[in-house]
Every structure is written in C-alpha cells, then in structure tokens.
Chains A and B, each alone.
Chain A
Amino acid sequence: MMDGIAALGILAKERGDAVVVTHMSTGHDWSKVSTRGELDLNLSGAMGKASSFGLGMALARPDVKVWVFDGDGSLLMNLGSLVTVGAMAPRNMVHFVYENDAYDTTGGQPTPGAGRMDFAAIARGAGYARAFSFESLEDLQNRVKEVLAGDGPTLVVLKVPSGGRRPPAGLPRAAESFAHIRELLAQRVAR
C-alpha cells in the first residue's frame, strides 16, 4: 500500500486542465495537493454517483479531460456504472479508485469483498479501454505518464491504507462548484 495523499500528489502534477470530481474521503485528500481548486468539484451527496457524474461531464465535453476520484465503498454502491461507462466509452475519462478496503467515513468498517475482489479486472470486463492497479508510489511515479497518455475510459486503482474519518476540508459546496465550473467550461471553447 502507498500513502494516499502522496499518490494524489504525483497525479496532481500531471492534471493540466482536467476537471476533477472527488467523492467521499478523496475530496479531503485531493484538497491537500490540488493547485486548481477552481476546476475541482467535491460530490458530497448521492454516495456512489461520482462515476456517473463524471461520465456525463466527459460525454458533454470530449475536448476536456475528466478525472474522477472514487472510493471503493462508493464504487461498490454503483458498480453497474462501470458497465455504463464502458458502453459509452468516453476517451477523455480517467476513473481513479481509492482502494482501502474500508468505509473510512463511517469509522473504517470493511467493505464487502475486501481483499478478495479486483476492481481493475471488473473494469476490463465491463468495457473500460484500460485498467491499472498501483500499490507503490515508485511504480505510480514511473508509469503515471503512460497511464494518463492513452485513450480512456481508464480505471486506476490506488491501493492505500484506511485513513479513518477526515476532518472537514472546508471545500466549496458542490452546487457552487457546479455553477462555477459550468461557466468556466462555457468560456473554454470546444475544439
């Protein structure tokens, strides 16, 4: 396993102009490394729907890179979305999954299938173009450009330790971020 915030730090350096959708614990951790908060949306309600929201965004703007940071517990709530994403096949979507085998926000209870199931295999079977799994920062650092360079949809599993409940991150409400990012994207002319 690798430190989650350190892993996100490696990714943050590569994000460019990507719109980033965070969910559950990843919102707190991403806020520690993101330098483009104006393009971040933390989906705090509707647990499990980050992948679906990211899909809509990616379909609407194929010229914009869309990154989704999901949790393993939240993705398990919406596992069918892997098939929906695989079927629509947005080339501009990268779907990261924090795999810590636990529901951090409720106190660290184990998720169903913890240590037994394989998100990358499921994503491949669901039609994702590519899927990766990383357990070490070194491996992630060495391959990050390769992972992000290819066409998606791409699933990237980040194996991290359970971090327990996070303190409030002081993130903007999703509704505020939604309106702001919508406006920014409208100004960014589709190529």
Chain B
Amino acid sequence: MVTKTPSLRARGILEELKRCGVSHIVWLPDSESTFMYDAIHNEPSLTLVPVCREGEAMAVAAGLLMGGKTPVVLIQNTGFFESGDSIRGICLDWKLPMLLMIGYRGYESKPMTDSAGIYLEPMLKTWGIPYHVIEEDSQVSRISQGFREAQSGPRPVAILIAREYDQP
C-alpha cells in the first residue's frame, strides 16, 4: 500500500492569509519558498515587498502597520536570527500585532545540516513569542489562530513552516 505524503500547498497558505485580511507580504526568499513566490506573484490582492536583509522586514512591516495596512513577514529561521534587534526593538518593545512566518530549516523530520533547527524554538521561548508549527495543508488554520493571538495581544506571533512549499 502506498501512503500519500501530505502536502503543504503555497496557495493554501495564501488563502489563509487572505482570510486574515493580510495586505502585504514583506519577505526575503529562502531555499524552500520557490513555489510561494510564484503563488504571491500571481495573487493581485497581496503586495509583495522584497527586502535585502531580513532585519529590514520587521521595520517595513511596522511602517505598514502604522499606515493602516496588515502585513506579515515571511523569512527563514536563519533570517530570524539575523533580525534579532529589529524583533526586540520594534516588534516586542512596541507590542506590535505582527505575524512572523518563519521557514523552519532543520526541522526534526529533516536531516540536520547545521544548527538553524536547534536554536529557533528556544529563542522564540526566550523572547516570549508564541508559535505554531505547520507541516501540512490540514494545519493552515493555525495561521488564523496565530493572527488572532497577535491581534488580541497585541504581540508578535510566529508561524513555523516546517517543510518546503508544494506547487500552488
């Protein structure tokens, strides 16, 4: 008997973000987000804001929030590590309702090639940032759950994308 591997479609993620009323995706691509770029590119209701380095993303998203928009940040955990002072000095200190979508390189189900997977959850816990892990389509409602938690805080909440996106 052949077991079908669960998928995590980029399109499903975007539909969930649209349900949350997200207007902008501030992002820097990583090795696992190819299909996500294609999906965003073909979605006219979402504006993509590419940045050169992940630490810019939180500040750009904060500016969008002040202007009345609803951004999310989409980066990999390596970029999360790079963004430390922006997360501390803006997202946490200002108590911003910001969803941080973070690619989980080195998640437990994958071969570990470096330390990126080791430090992500301990760092989120240290900073008191709640998070939800998504591995397949059936779990994308956790995005809306995290979005509501971010709004009600207000506080940043992380969604950890634990596998490569599948085709839209």
Contact = CB atoms under 8 A, between A and B. Distances in A.
Interface of A: 41, 45-50, 52-61, 64, 78, 80-81, 83-84, 87-88, 174-175, 178, 181-182, 185-186
Given A52-B51, A53-B60, A174-B94, A46 B66 contact: no
A52, A59, A185, most chain B CB atoms within 10 A: A52
Given A175-B94, A182-B68, A54 B63 contact: yes
Contact of B66 (A47, A57, A83, A84): A57
Interface stretch (B5-13, B82-90, B118-126): B82-90
B62 interface: yes
Contacts of A52: 51, 56-57, 59-60, 63
Contact of A49 (B49, B68, B71, B86): B86
B50 A185 contact: no
A182 B66 contact: yes
Contacts of A56: 26, 49, 59-67, 71
Contact of B67 (A46, A48, A49, A57): A57
B119 to A, nearest CB: 21
Interface string B9-49: 00000000000000010100000000000000000000101
A81 B56 contact: yes
A172 to B, nearest CB: 12
Contacts of B68: 60-61, 182, 185-186
B53 A80 contact: yes
B163 to A, nearest CB: 28
Report the interface size class on chain B: 20 to 34
Contacts, number: 111
Interface string B67-96: 111010000000000000110111001110
B2 interface: no
A49 B55 contact: yes
B1 interface: no
A80 B51 CA distance: 8
Nearest to A62: B67
Given A46-B90, A83-B52, A175-B94, A57 B85 contact: no
Contacts of A78: 53, 55-56
A81 to B, nearest CB: 5
B124 to A, nearest CB: 18
Contacts of A58: 63
Contacts of B65: 56, 60, 182
A12 to B, nearest CB: 21
Contact of B59 (A53, A59, A181, A182): A53
Contacts of B59: 46, 49-50, 52-53, 56
B64 A60 contact: yes
A59 B24 contact: yes
Given A60-B69, A81-B52, A175-B94, A46 B85 contact: yes
B50 A175 contact: no
A57 B63 CA distance: 4
Contacts of A181: 66
